[in-house]
A and B are shown apart, each in its own frame.
Chain A
Amino acid sequence: MGTIFANIMAIYRRELQSYFASPFAYLIAGVFWLLSGFFFMAILLDGQQGLIAQAALRDQLGITTPPIDVAYQFLNFFLGVLGSLSLFVLPMLSMGLYSEERKRGTLELLATSPITNWVVALGKLLGVVTFFVSMVLPLLIYESIALGAADPPIRLGVMVIGHVGLILMAAAILSLGMFISSLTDSTILAAILTFALILLLWVIDLVATSIGGPVGDAITHLSLIRNYNNLIQGILDVSSLVLFISYIVLGVFLTAQSIEALRFQRS
């Protein structure tokens, strides 16, 4: 058990270190911060469309019902935007996880070391999720500044569940992206395929409604956006958590299997 943990940590540290050593990762983080900062300002402070402006307008017009919780509304919108932004960012983070190893031949080192495939996959996933968390952390600072000024104050639970939802959804996407990355030597191809897959999972409830019936109903539950929306509204929906965790486990499992299968292919 101790060695398994040590192995996971070894892979995790290497993976994380490679993100922090990569200019490309900083570029992605920079763009993510820029865009999220822009949306933050737009949602909250925009002259006409901003939440504060709209609330002020309602007050001026004397509309008091239904009451509007600006802080809650804002968090909801902002996390929604972050979710959509992540759609574009996450494939770029996961694309190199295995395809780079395959290309560099380092997979041969991992495959001939006393370390199991799922340990490698788990370590890598933890590494990339940690990097994503480090991308989200700075946002928390200005979120808390803005929300700290809210009166009545926002419930801490809503904030925690919303952000945990964001991280879990990201982890689910990264896990599936890792699997796709393990299928190919080409990082670009991995990114494109991952993007296509999560786009499909993102909007799959639209597909499901057009199918209808019990099958459609079942497919609806696979939708990322649907479950994500549950969480960012502050609803602690266990089924959503279970779904994201299932995606994560599935991704790790499939990755380990695909790396194992790679040995039996022509190399």
Chain B
Amino acid sequence: MIEAEHLSKIYGTTPAIEDVTFSVEKGEILGFLGPNGAGKTTTMRILTGYLPATSGTARIAEFDVHEHSMTVRKQIGYLPETPPLYPDMTVEGFLHFVGRIKGMAAGDRPSRVESAMTRCNLISKRNVLIRKLSKGFRQRVGIAQAIVHDPPAIILDEPTVGLDPRQIIDVRNLIKSLAGDHTIILSTHILPEVSMTCSRVAIINRGKIVATNTPEQLLAQIAEGSGYELEIEGNIAGLQKRLQELVGVQTVEVMSSQAVVQRRHRLRVTTQSGFDPGRQIAAIVVGSGLGLYEMRRLQASLEDVFLDLTTEEKIADSSEENSQDSDELRSEDSVETSQDTQDINNNYPASPADAQSSEPGEVA
């Protein structure tokens, strides 16, 4: 239904997106996930035909967005980053206007406007000037204008931005209810949003797609490489070293400050991907005569996947900046660092902080 093939957009000399390829099947919801400035908006604007791509093609319902622009425009509903609203119109008047310029038959319009308002919970505000609406309602009017003409493809750029938790849930449910009849792409920098609403995720960072998969599979991809948290009673002096020597163990960290009871220690063991040495870890702990009170697998969240995929790039880049050495050394550098993502996350707090700061909005 929606296809992007090798899309690139270059502003002057700075590439905004490079070689972006993905496709969305009919009825799917694709989450377009990436930090701010990763190229999400640019990609969406190309898909809607608002911006021309420097190279590559985008098709909606088999029509090239550039060559058959008018046909494509009838097929899409689009919510840009800032909802395109006329403050001096009423909600209902505005939706009628949108219906008109989208080429809707005059006979269908009243019922379509009515149903768009119902779906977006705007009935009570139908005669209110948009100027007087709160941010949350404006966002809903923005979504209503994207669906009023019942387009087969809906493109939503950060639909939940600036909403309170209650409204976020409403909007997510609304988006989910649209799936099936409609094909939806939504962009966001909020991770749980993707796992809650989307059937597939494309992660974009620095203008490149770094992963496309279902949320579950993305999680599975790194679940085995996450690790364990242990609570151990006894003297752990030698234990740390022995665990470290195990095949597949990446780091062993003592979080003594979290000791619940005296002489009990909490350890965090992270493992390399492809290894699951839970059995051996337990055997070593018990074999050393220590008490194992808790052993819990660290749950990978989408956030981890996201950081895993997006920080790697950053590191490669910053090592480029730092290293004045030969190309050879540089590539070695980036390989090394990318293996060590967990550690590096601590060194590059910019994006973890980003992701965390988005979380309060997520608490339902």
Contacts and interface: CB of A to CB of B under 8 A. Distances in A.
Our verdict on whether A and B bind, yes or no, reads: yes
Contacts of A18: 86, 88-89
Nearest to A100: B86
Task: Tell me the interface secondary structure of chain A in the complex.
Answer: helix
Interface in B57-93: 70-71, 73-74, 76, 78, 80-89, 93
Given A112-B50, A112-B73, A114-B70, A104 B84 contact: yes
Nearest to A105: B82
A110 B50 contact: no
A114 B100 CA distance: 10
A109 B12 contact: no
A10 B101 contact: yes
A18 B71 CA distance: 29
Interface in A221-267: 263-264, 266-267
B80 A105 contact: yes
Contacts of A10: 97, 100-101
Task: Tell me the interface secondary structure of chain B in the complex.
Answer: loop
Given A22-B88, A266-B11, A14 B97 contact: yes
A119 B42 CA distance: 26
Nearest to B72: A114
B271 interface: no
Interface in A36-81: none
Nearest to B145: A109
**Interface size for chain B: under 10, 10 to 19, 20 to 34, or 35 or more residues?**
20 to 34
Contacts of A146: none
B52 to A, nearest CB: 6
A85 interface: no
A141 interface: no
Nearest to A116: B70
Interface string B14-32: 0000000000000000000
17 contacts: A10-B101, A17-B88, A104-B85, A105-B83, A105-B84, A106-B84, A106-B85, A106-B86, A109-B80, A109-B98, A112-B48, A112-B76, A112-B78, A113-B98, A113-B102, A114-B71, A263-B51
Interface of B: 11-12, 45, 48-52, 70-71, 73-74, 76, 78, 80-89, 93, 97-98, 100-103, 106, 145
Interface of A: 3, 6-7, 9-11, 13-14, 17-18, 21-22, 104-116, 263-264, 266-267
